[in-house]
Amino acid sequence: MIDIVRNILHLVWVIIPIPMPWRNVIFVLILVISLFWLIWRALPWLLSNGATLFGRITEIIFALPLWIDNHLLTKKRREKKLEPLWISYFLGDLFGFLAKIIYLVSDQFKKISDSILEKKWFPHKNFLIFPSVIILLIWHFNPNSRNWWYSFEGWIVNGESKPMVSSISPEEFVRNYYDYLNNDKYEIAYNFLSSNFKKNKNYNYYLNWWSVQVQQFNLDDIRIISPNANSAIVDVRLLYFMRETQKWSKPDDIRLFLIWDSQNRTWLIDDSKYIQ
C-alpha cells in the first residue's frame, strides 16, 4: 500500500517539475483533496457495502445451526409426532433476534452512507487556501523545516528518506570542478556538465580548450548569487595562462548556472556565460 502511494506521488513529482516550496503546496492540496474523497466517498461506500455483506454473512451463519437442528433433531422428532426440544425454540428465537438487530444496524449504516454519498465531497476553497498559505509561511520563516520536505522528496524519488539536496554546496561543487580541470582530469570534469550543456559543447571542443589552448588557470574568485534546492547561480573569475602566447590573459568573469540532478543526487553545470 505504501509503495502504491509512493508511486502515485512520484508520478505527480515527474508531471509537475516545479521548484520548492510550490511543490509542497501542490502535494498538500492533492493530499487534502484525497482525504476529502476518502472520507466522503470511499469510506461511506465501504461502510454501506460492508454492512450489507456482513448482514448476508450473518444470515448464513445463523441459518446453518438452525438447518442442522431441523434436519438432525426436529425433523425426526416430528416424524415420531414429538414436540421439538426446547433448545430448538431457544435457538430459533435467539438467532432470529440477533438477525433482526444486525439487519437494523446494517440498514441504518446504509441510510447514513447513502445520505453522505448524496452530498458534495470536494473541499471548500478555505480548506485549500489555508494550508497553502501556512506552508509558504513556514517555508520562508522556518528554514529548519525544509529538510523534512527534502527527505520526503527523497523518499518519493528514490525510496529512501534522505534529503534530495546535495551534501556539498554549489560553491564546493564548482571548486571541485575546476580542481579536476587543473589536475588534467578532463573526463571527470566533463561529467560535471548537464546533458543540455554537452549538446552545445561536445567533448572534443571541450578538450581542445582546456587541454590544448589553456596551459593552466587560476580560480581567482567565486560567489554564490542565487542558491535554492533545485538550482543555483555562481559567479567565478578565471585567469588563463595560454599555451600559445605563454602569457596570462585578462580576468574573465563567468556566470555558471547549476541545476540539481535528483536521480544522481548531485549538481550539474547547465549553462555558462561571460559577464560584461
Q: What is the pLDDT of residues 73-94, one digit of tens each?
A: 666 666 666 666 666 667 667 7
User: Is the model's pLDDT at 117 over the cut of 70?
Assistant: yes
Q: Minimal CA–CA distance to 20: which of 140, 169, 125?
A: 140
User: Is the model's pLDDT at 179 over the cut of 50?
Assistant: yes
Task: Identify the band that residue 164 occupies on the pLDDT scale cut at 50, 70 and 90.
Answer: very low
User: Is the model's pLDDT at 63 over the cut of 90?
Assistant: no
Residue 76 CB partners (closer than 8 Å, separation 6+)? none
For the segment 146-163, the average pLDDT, to the nearest whole number, is 59
pLDDT at position 6: 63
The full set of domain ranges for the chain reads 2-137, 170-274
DSSP sequence for the chain: -HHHHHHHHHHHHHH----TTHHHHHHHHHHHHHHHHIIIIIHHHHHHHHHHHHHHHHHHHHHHHHHHHIIIIIHHHHHTT-PPPHHHHHHHHHHHHHHHHHHHHHHHHHHHHHHHHTS--SPPHHHHHHHHHHHHHHHHH-GGGHHHHHHHHHHHHHSS-S-SS-SS-HHHHHHHHHHHHHTT-HHHHHTTB-HHHHHHS-HHHHHIIIIIIEEEEEEEEEEEEEE-SSEEEEEEEEEEEETTT-SBPPPEEEEEEEEEETTTTEEEEEEEEE--
Hey, what amino acid is at 189?
A: A
* CA pair distance 68, 88, nearest whole angstrom: 10
User: Is the model's pLDDT at 171 over the cut of 50?
Assistant: yes
Q: Minimal CA–CA distance to 239: which of 224, 220, 213, 254?
A: 220
User: Is the model's pLDDT at 255 over the cut of 90?
Assistant: yes
Return the percentage of the chain with pLDDT > 90, whole number.
19
* CA pair distance 10, 16, nearest whole angstrom: 10
pLDDT at position 66: 66
pLDDT in tens, 226-238: 777 678 899 999 9
What is the pTM for the complete model shown? Answer: 0.46
Task: Identify the band that residue 262 occupies on the pLDDT scale cut at 50, 70 and 90.
Answer: confident
Q: In this predicted model, which residue has the larger pLDDT, 106 or 149? A: 106
Mean pLDDT across the chain: 79
CATH tag, 170-274: 3.10.450.100
Q: In this predicted model, which residue has the larger pLDDT, 267 or 161? A: 267
Residue 121 CB partners (closer than 8 Å, separation 6+)? 36, 37, 39, 40, 41
